[in-house]
Amino acid sequence: MIEIEELFDFINEIVMVVDSSYKIVYLNNKCKELLGEHSSKFIGKKCYLALFNKIDVCENCQIANIDKKQFAVNVIHETINYKGLRKLYRSSFEHIGVNFFAEILSDITEEKKIIDQLTNQSKALKANNIILNHNKKQVEEQYYFVKKVLNSLNEGVMVVNEDFSVNVVNEKMKEFAGFKGDIRSDFKCFHFYGNEKQCLDCPYNNNSVRASRKMNNRSFTVFFNRLGGLIVESVVESTRVIALINEIKQRQFELNEKQHQMILLNDDLRLVNEKLKKAQDMISGELIQVSKIQNSLLPSSLPDNDNFDFGALYVPAEEVGGDYYDYIKIGPNHYGFLVADVSGHGIPAAVIMAITRALIHSYAHNVFSSANVLGTVNEVLNSNIHTNDFVTMFYLIMDMATGKCNFASAGHHPLLFFDKSEMMVKKINAKGRFLGIFDKVDFEENAITIDTGDIIFLYTDGLTDTMNNERKLYGFDRLITKLILYHNDCCKSIIKYIMEDVNEFAGGVPFEDDITIFMIKCRSC
Choosing from 62, 170, 294, 409, the residue that interacts with another protein (CB under 8 A) is: 409
Nearest to 432 by CA among 375, 389, 476, 384: 375
- Pick 390 or 518: Cβ nearer another protein: 390
Residue 434 binds to another protein (criterion: CB under 8 A): yes
CB of 429 to another protein, least distance (A): 5
Nearest to 453 by CA among 423, 496, 476, 480: 423
Residue 174 binds to another protein (criterion: CB under 8 A): no
Q: In what order do the strands lie in the sheet with 13-19?
A: 24-27, 13-19, 100-107, 86-97, 75-80
CB of 407 to another protein, least distance (A): 12
Interatomic CA distance for residues 441 and 512, integer angstroms? 30
Choosing from 193, 324, 363, 390, the residue that interacts with another protein (CB under 8 A) is: 390
Choosing from 233, 389, 445, 454, the residue that interacts with another protein (CB under 8 A) is: 389
Residue 440 binds to another protein (criterion: CB under 8 A): no
DSSP annotation of 453 reads T
- Whether residue 416 contacts residue 425, with contact meaning beta carbons closer than 8 Å, is answered with yes
Binding mask 454-483 for another protein (x = CB under 8 A): -------x---x-----x-x----------
CB of 361 to another protein, least distance (A): 23
Q: Is 31 exposed, middle or buried (0-12, 13-18, 19+ CB in 10 A)?
A: buried
Residue 370 binds to another protein (criterion: CB under 8 A): no
- Pick 28 or 392: Cβ nearer another protein: 392
Gyration radius of the chain over CA positions: 71
Choosing from 294, 411, 455, 522, the residue that interacts with another protein (CB under 8 A) is: 411
DSSP annotation of 208 reads -
**Angle at 298 (CA atoms; ends 294, 304), nearest 5 degrees:** 165
CB of 365 to another protein, least distance (A): 26
CB of 388 to another protein, least distance (A): 5
Residue 378 binds to another protein (criterion: CB under 8 A): no
Residue span binding another protein (CB under 8 A) among the ranges 220-228, 242-250, 331-339, 410-418: 410-418
CB of 517 to another protein, least distance (A): 17
Q: Which residues partner with 397 through β-bridges?
A: 336, 406
- Pick 309 or 323: Cβ nearer another protein: 323
- Measuring CA to CA, how many Å separate 328 from each of 215, 357, 447, 518? 102, 10, 19, 13
Choosing from 40, 300, 388, 421, the residue that interacts with another protein (CB under 8 A) is: 388
Q: Which of residues 485-514 bind another protein (CB under 8 A)?
A: 512-513
DSSP annotation of 423 reads T
Residue 399 binds to another protein (criterion: CB under 8 A): no
- Measuring CA to CA, how many Å separate 360 from each of 294, 355, 380? 15, 9, 11
Residue 344 binds to another protein (criterion: CB under 8 A): yes
- Whether residue 51 contacts residue 34, with contact meaning beta carbons closer than 8 Å, is answered with yes
One-letter amino acid at 28 equals N
Residue span binding another protein (CB under 8 A) among the ranges 247-255, 352-360, 378-386, 430-438: 430-438
Q: Is 17 exposed, middle or buried (0-12, 13-18, 19+ CB in 10 A)?
A: buried
**Residues lying near another protein in the complex (CB under 8 A):** 341, 343-344, 388-390, 392, 409, 411-414, 429, 431-434, 437-438, 441, 461, 465, 471, 473, 512-513
